[in-house]
Amino acid sequence: MISLTDSQKIGMGLTGFGVFFLLFGMILFFDKALLAIGNILFVAGLSFVIGLERTFKFFFQRHKFKATSFFLGGVLVVLIGWPIIGVVLEIYGFFLLFRGFFPVAVGFIRRLPVLGSILNLPGISGLVDKVGESNNMFSDLNDSHTRATLGDNGVSFLERATAEKLDSSGDAVLKRRAGKKRRGLFTFSQGKLR
């Protein structure tokens, strides 16, 4: 069982109320006040759940600048008083920000008893497969910032790890070899992962 701190519990409540107010505001024909309250509660709840520093780091990464500007710009447009345009901007920014989490969410939902069988229906499964494609997860590997952070060996490891065969438990099989040059948890020899 996952133990949550008191601030994380408060954050979960704020995020839940924020999502509720956002959905309720959309149901009531884009009510400005409900959408504004929902936006404020959602962002505040997110910062309570993962912390202020991590929230700031998540939203203001260089490669997520476009997504953050659309999402926070949509929040600002809703607060100004144009709810339909603001919600469209927010939804687009939300999908850009959280697209790396979609494969994980789709995989989790497919394992649930009722929802999994619904997602595997013939017409729906193709759409869900497109949303849950994991090819977008490492689309930023060729970014110069990512290569500077991980190094070329780390990036090539991530590229290989996504295509590597999995053992019966679903975990990638990686072995350390004695006598080789080690960087972190993995062994490199002449620029190649061993």
- Cα separation, 51 vs 107, whole angstroms: 26
Return the beta strands (E) in 15-170 as ranges: none
How far is the C-alpha of 47 from the C-alpha of 73, rounded, in Å? 18
Q: Where are the domains of the chain?
A: 6-98, 145-194
Between vectors from CA 100 to CA 187 and to CA 9, what angle results, nearest 5°? Answer: 100
Q: Amino acid letter at 90? A: E
CB 65 within 8 A of CB 71: no
On the question of pLDDT at 12 being above 60, the answer is yes
Range in 19-28, 82-91, 122-131 the model is least confident about: 122-131
Mean pLDDT check: name the lowest of 27-31, 47-51, 88-92, 175-179: 175-179
What is the percentage of the chain residues whose pLDDT exceeds 90?
A: 46
Stretch 147-155: mean pLDDT: 46
Statement: residue 18 has pLDDT above 80: yes
Strand 192-193 and strand 181-183: the pairing is: unpaired
Range of weakest confidence among 77-86, 107-116, 132-141, 177-186: 177-186
Residue 112 structure tokens: 């649930």
Q: What is the DSSP letter of 166?
A: B
Length of the chain in residues, anyone?
194
